[in-house]
Amino acid sequence: MCGFGGYFGSVRDAEALLARMTSAIAHRGPDEQGKFVAPEAGLGHARLSVIGIGDGQQPMSDETGNLTIAFNGEIFNYVELREGLLAKGRRFRTSSDTEVLLQLYDEMGEDCLPLLNGDFAFAIWDNRRRRMVLARDRMGVRPLFYTSKDGVLYFASEIKALLKVPGISAEIDPIALDQIFTLWAPIAPRTAFRDIHELGPASVMIATEGQVTVKPYWHLDYPHRDTPSKITDEDDAAEELRTLLTDAVRLRMRADVPVGSYLSGGLDSSLVSALAAGMTPLKLQTFSVTFDSAEHDESAFQTEMASALGTRHRTIACRAGDIADVFPEVIRFTERPIIRTAPAPLYQLSGLVRQAGLKVVLTGEGADEVFAGYDVFKEARVRRFCGRQPASRIRPQLFRKLYPYLPGLQQQSVEYLAAFFGTGSAALDDPLFSHRPRFKTTSAAKMFFSGDLRATLMGYNAVEELAGRLPEAFSRWHPLHQAQYLETRFLLPGYILSSQGDRMAMAHGIEGRFPFLDHRLVEFAARLPPEMKLKGLVEKHILRKVAKHLLPTAISERTKQPYRAPEARSFVGPGELDYVRDSLSEASIAAGGLFNAKAVANLHEKCRLQPASGFRDNAAFVGILSTQLWQKIFTGEKVGAARAA
């Protein structure tokens, strides 16, 4: 894992520029730095040594000097790819996956991308063809951003490196802010920064003089809902899944340093940890975060799982006030406003891994998207069930079973449940049917937008833009697959792998690895019949079959508990930090220009008096506070409402 930055075009003081860009992301690669400068291209690199320690210094050039690469991430199947290249007569100077990628590109050009099994972003300066090639992994694990200034293309692993380029400054993108307050994250290529873009997952950019093209090299696809599945035997499917998952973990254990594992106490991380524990000659090191609030804490399950596996287990406690303590740093690394506090404990957790002396951890992220583990999938099924008999007073009671961890919901009437979940208001053929309630609930936080910001947005609709990004085949997929696509293609790379994933881990120089996002496993899961993933209201059914013989029954049969963290109550009450009061003061809000100062003052007071506020108030509080912090951190001053994008 590393970080890099660079440019394509003619710049002044190239070495000094690359040094500034690389230093801005030194946390991503604290082991060493390097740079490459050519007349019309430059690359800077900060390295975290994981594979090929001592012989993989970057940027790396081939023997001819015609190809130079800066690479972030890992190619997990580099051993097999290397063997294939050796059979073709290729020779290697290092044992690194970086050189394998460089030689594979030399052999095939960008057509090599479908052969890569990895989490990566890279830039290759191809001197022979006078072009810069940028690419990103299929699922969007590793970040890559770009912008242009005076005819020069600049790119980097994090936006803070781009802000070191003369003439490039931070300005909030109001459309992106609206998307965050609706969808939880901007829709790529948009970012929170005006005129700074994100290269989307599974995409390659080719820049030549006067032309830049971006194209996909892989698509997430599902079978036609009316086509009978070729996968009919559940036991055979479970065995194939176990084989795929085992191999995905095996590949991600490849490193010249010890590999640890996050252990939340849930099904996904427990499965990954169980498989990894059988592949390491030493005790597997596992890491968990605990909470002092019962509704968020999973420590009992973490302890049971660690004991069953015999791991060397460490925990870090996220206590009242800890989230507020680290939140400004969280925003500095997310580089965007957020509406949830969940990244903050993960920032603490990666710090624990660093303190333990590790650089690499496995995680269970991705399983919920790939195997239909989230409540939104079950909720959509119940809503469809209710929608077919909208007058029923029995069917809406199923919503209580979906959310046993939300005590307030258990007390609500049938009429409230039906209205809240929109059982009679949404068309069953709506392509966004599964996610409409979430979008509606989140969007309610926009009531705190200022009049100026509303005027700037001029009726912009983030949900309709999302609908316009759906592939042509979307309407032919099963409703569960439609919902899975929305999670996997948008929220997963936009928020889970970014704000909660890469950015929180790399803040402490930790590389997270995601076995469930091995593209072979993702493609296999996409072909599975819906009922093998969501059987009735039992989530991740087939994954549970795999877990049955690997995990304690209390873990393998445990109902999904979504990862959450305390929100508004983390910031208010006795001991409220100065930055919270300052950021949410009427003067600061008015100066920022993005929110209604009086409304925010009322929200702040409400959260002080009533810590158990609902989702809208929590999302609004966290979103407003993070936006105010974003402005202070990246612009250095409070700014007025942005103009339209």
Domain of residue 303, CATH code? 3.40.50.620
Question: What single DSSP character describes residue 389?
Answer: S
**Domain boundary at 535, 556, 577, which?**
556
Residues 121 and 238 in one domain: no
Q: Could you tell me the CA-to-CA distances from 115 to 81, 132, 524 in Å, in that order?
A: 8, 20, 17
Residues 181 and 243 in one domain: no
The mean pLDDT of 516-525, rounded to a whole number, is: 98
Please give the order of strands across the beta sheet that includes 511-513.
Answer: 312-318, 285-291, 259-262, 360-362, 511-513
Residues 109 and 54 in one domain: yes
Residues 139 and 284 in one domain: no
Residues 7 and 78 in one domain: yes
* Amino acid at residue number 216: P
Query: What gap in Å lies between CA 149 and CA 16, rounded to an integer?
Result: 17
Above 60 in pLDDT, residue 183? yes
Residues 245 and 135 in one domain: no
Residues 59 and 200 in one domain: yes
Query: What gap in Å lies between CA 167 and CA 76, rounded to an integer?
Result: 38
* Amino acid at residue number 187: I
The mean pLDDT of 90-108, rounded to a whole number, is: 95
Choice between 53 and 540, residue whose per-residue pLDDT is larger:
540
**Residues 413-453: tens digit of each pLDDT:** 777 777 777 776 678 889 999 999 999 999 999 999 999 99
Above 80 in pLDDT, residue 519? yes
DSSP alpha helices (H): ranges in 156-266? 159-162, 174-183, 234-252
- In this structure, is residue 572 part of a structural domain? yes
DSSP states of 309-340: HT-EEEEEEE-TTHHHHHHHHHHHHH-S--S-
The predicted structure's pLDDT at residue 524: 98
Tokens 């409703």 label which residue?
Answer: 479
Give the angle 225-226-230 at the CA atoms, nearest 5°: 85
The mean pLDDT of 164-181, rounded to a whole number, is: 97
The predicted structure's pLDDT at residue 641: 41
Domain with 178, as residue range(s), is 2-216
- In this structure, is residue 283 part of a structural domain? yes
Above 80 in pLDDT, residue 393? no
The mean pLDDT of 248-257, rounded to a whole number, is: 95
Residues 183 and 120 in one domain: yes
Quick one: pLDDT band at residue 165, thresholds 50, 70, 90? very high
Residues 175 and 274 in one domain: no
- In this structure, is residue 640 part of a structural domain? no
Tokens found for residue 309: 């596996």
Residues 11 and 96 in one domain: yes
The total number of structural domains that make up the chain = 3
Find the length of the chain: 645
Tokens found for residue 304: 């049971």
- In this structure, is residue 497 part of a structural domain? yes
Residues 625 and 520 in one domain: no
- In this structure, is residue 460 part of a structural domain? no
Q: What CATH number is associated with residue 81?
A: 3.60.20.10
The mean pLDDT of 220-238, rounded to a whole number, is: 95
Q: Are 126 and 199 in contact (CB under 8 A)?
A: no
Can you say whether residue 272 is alpha, beta or left, with left for phi > 0 and alpha for psi between -120 and 50 degrees? alpha
**Domain boundary at 556, 578, 597, which?**
556
Dihedral of CA atoms 529, 432, 195, 171 in degrees, nearest 10, equals: -120
Q: Which strand (E) or helix (H) includes residue 512? A: strand 511-513
Query: What gap in Å lies between CA 22 and CA 27, rounded to an integer?
Result: 10
The predicted structure's pLDDT at residue 399: 81
Tokens 């849930």 label which residue?
Answer: 266
The mean pLDDT of 332-341, rounded to a whole number, is: 98
- In this structure, is residue 251 part of a structural domain? yes
Query: What gap in Å lies between CA 335 and CA 396, rounded to an integer?
Result: 40
- In this structure, is residue 324 part of a structural domain? yes
The predicted structure's pLDDT at residue 297: 87
Nearest CA among 594, 638, 619 for reference residue 338: 619
Residues 30 and 102 in one domain: yes
- In this structure, is residue 378 part of a structural domain? no
Which residues is 360 bridged to in the sheet? 259, 511
Tokens 């968990």 label which residue?
Answer: 288
The mean pLDDT of 603-612, rounded to a whole number, is: 88
